[in-house]
Amino acid sequence: MHETMHETKLDIPQILSRLPLFQELAPEQIAALESACRERRLAKGEMLFQKGDPPKGFFVVVFGQVKLAFPSSQGNEKVVQILGPRQSFGEAMMFMDRPYPVFAEGLVDSLLLQIGSVPVFELLQRDPMFARHMLAGLSLRLHSLVQDVETYSLRSSAQRVVGYLLQQCPQSKSGEASFDISLPTSKQVIASRLNLTPETLSRIFHDLSANGLIGVSGKQITINDVNRLREFDL
Partner DNA sequence: CGTACCTTTGATGTGAATCAAGAGTAGTGG
Partner DNA sequence: CCACTACTCTTGATTCACATCAAAGGTACG
**Interface residues toward a copy of itself, by CB under 8 A:** 70, 72, 76, 78, 80, 91-96, 98, 101-102, 121, 124-126, 128, 131-132, 134-136, 138-143, 145-150, 152-154, 195
Looking only at residues 115 through 174 of this chain, which bind DNA when binding is defined by CB under 7 A? Answer: 156-158
Instruction: Return d(Cα 36, Cα 162) in angstroms, integer.
Output: 42
Q: Which of 197, 187, 213, 211 is nearest to 157 (CA)?
A: 197
> Which residues make Cβ contacts (< 8 Å) with residue 20, sequence separation at least 6?
86, 133, 137
Instruction: List CB contacts of 75: < 8 A, sequence separation 6 or more.
Output: none
- Overall size of the chain counted in residues: 234
Select from 4-12, 82-90, 123-131, 212-220 the region that touches DNA (CB under 7 A): 212-220
The secondary structure of residue 80, as a DSSP letter, is E
| CB of residue 109 to DNA, shortest distance in Å | 11
Tell me which residues in 46-105 interact with DNA (CB under 7 A).
74, 76
Q: Which is nearer to DNA, 168 or 202 (CB)?
A: 202
How large is the C-alpha radius of gyration of the chain? Answer: 19
Count of residues of this chain found to bind DNA when the rule CB under 7 A is applied: 23
Q: Which of 41, 56, 187, 230 binds DNA (CB under 7 A)?
A: 187
Site for DNA, rule CB under 7 A? 1, 74, 76, 156-158, 186-188, 195-203, 205-206, 216, 218-219
